[in-house]
Amino acid sequence: MAEPVSIRPATAADAGTIAALVEELNRQQREELGHVTAAAVLRDGFGKAPPEFRVLLAEADGATVGYALFHPSWSTEVGEPGFYLYDLFVREGCRGRGVGRALLAALARTAREEGRTFLWWSSKEWNREAQAFYRRLGAIEETVKAHALFGEALAALAAESEPRA
């Protein structure tokens, strides 16, 4: 990267780029591919008010080199609003050059400007490099186990609350 990184909020015109970056992250993390499309990003990130998520894009040398995807959150621990950072991704060839730090700094500034008091995120247990980076930023590590319901498991649990005839 010859030029410094710049960070900007994504727009609807970036939906295809965001979907491609998400797929790149999912491929690197050995997750299923093909679920995140430009149409889904456009629908949920730019077609609703309020949007389901927001994105900051990192650019250098005329190319998008990373992104941060986040959404509002509220903490029952501190009783205040913040942001949950769902994805932080920097393209492999651009890592170690301050892109991730620039994205998080811009997100922290956005949080402060909007009266939010925290950023919260998780990382894969095996991603030691990312965890070391987060510690260098001053992030604390919480001992939590993430849980999720998708597809049939979500439908089965939801069915338990449906009215009985």
67 is catalytic: no
Question: Is pLDDT at 10 greater than 80 in this prediction?
Answer: yes
Q: Quickly state the pLDDT bin for 2 (edges 50, 70, 90).
A: low
Looking at every residue in the chain, the average pLDDT score rounds to 91
Instruction: Give domain status of residue 164, yes or no.
Output: no
Report the pLDDT value the prediction gives residue 125, as an integer from 0 to 100: 84
Residue whose tokens read 């690197």: 28
Instruction: Give domain status of residue 165, yes or no.
Output: no
Instruction: Give domain status of residue 41, yes or no.
Output: yes
User: Which structure tokens are listed for 26?
Assistant: 């999912």
Instruction: Give domain status of residue 14, yes or no.
Output: yes
Name every residue whose Cβ is closer than 8 Å to that of residue 102 and which is 6 or more positions away in sequence. Answer: 5, 7, 58
The residues that bridge with 71 in the sheet, in sequence order, are: 84
Instruction: Give domain status of residue 39, yes or no.
Output: yes
Residue whose tokens read 């998008």: 64
Residues of the domain holding 148: 6-159
Report the pLDDT value the prediction gives residue 60, as an integer from 0 to 100: 92
Instruction: Give domain status of residue 36, yes or no.
Output: yes
Active-site annotation holder among 67, 84, 86, 134: 134
Question: Is pLDDT at 82 greater than 70 in this prediction?
Answer: yes
Report how many domains make up the chain: 1
Question: Residue 149 region, left (φ>0) first, then alpha (ψ -120 to 50), else beta?
Answer: beta
Domain of 111: which CATH number?
3.40.630.30
